[in-house]
Amino acid sequence: MTEYAFLPGTIEVAAAERVRLVVRNFGRLEHDFVADERGRALGLAQVHLRPGASMSQDWTAPANPTEIRIVCTVLGHETLGMVGRLVITPRRNPDPAASP
């Protein structure tokens, strides 16, 4: 996180993948990482960080593809463009022709 942006603005995770989300505040202001209702229902924690702070969360993406909206709820930050996306993509099946 930095002033009025999530970097990267879009995070892609494969369906059912276990990931560690690391949120860092590189800005000079406090910022939040808050998932929409769907994301909260899927277990994403709300994060509020002072400048220079970080937090990590181990999380398993849902089995079905979906998109979760992420915003900073600090007054005015969402309006200034501090919005991101967490996209759950379909799992890729290994190519059977590529097997030895």
CATH number (domain holding residue 86): 2.60.40.420
pLDDT at 92: 79
Q: Which residues form the domain of 86?
A: 10-90
Q: How many CB atoms are located within 10 Å of the residue 77 CB?
A: 21
Q: Region of 97 please: left (phi>0), alpha (psi -120 to 50) or beta.
A: alpha
Report the residue count for the chain: 100
The answer as to whether 57 is a domain residue is: yes
pLDDT in tens, the chain (100 residues): 999 999 999 999 999 999 999 999 999 999 999 999 999 999 999 999 999 999 999 999 999 999 999 999 999 999 999 999 999 999 876 655 555 5
- Give the pTM: 0.86
pLDDT at 97: 58
The answer as to whether 98 is a domain residue is: no
* Number of domains making up the chain: 1
pLDDT at 11: 96
The answer as to whether 2 is a domain residue is: no
The answer as to whether 52 is a domain residue is: yes
Q: Report helix, strand or coil for 37.
A: helix
Q: Report helix, strand or coil for 31.
A: strand
pLDDT at 98: 53
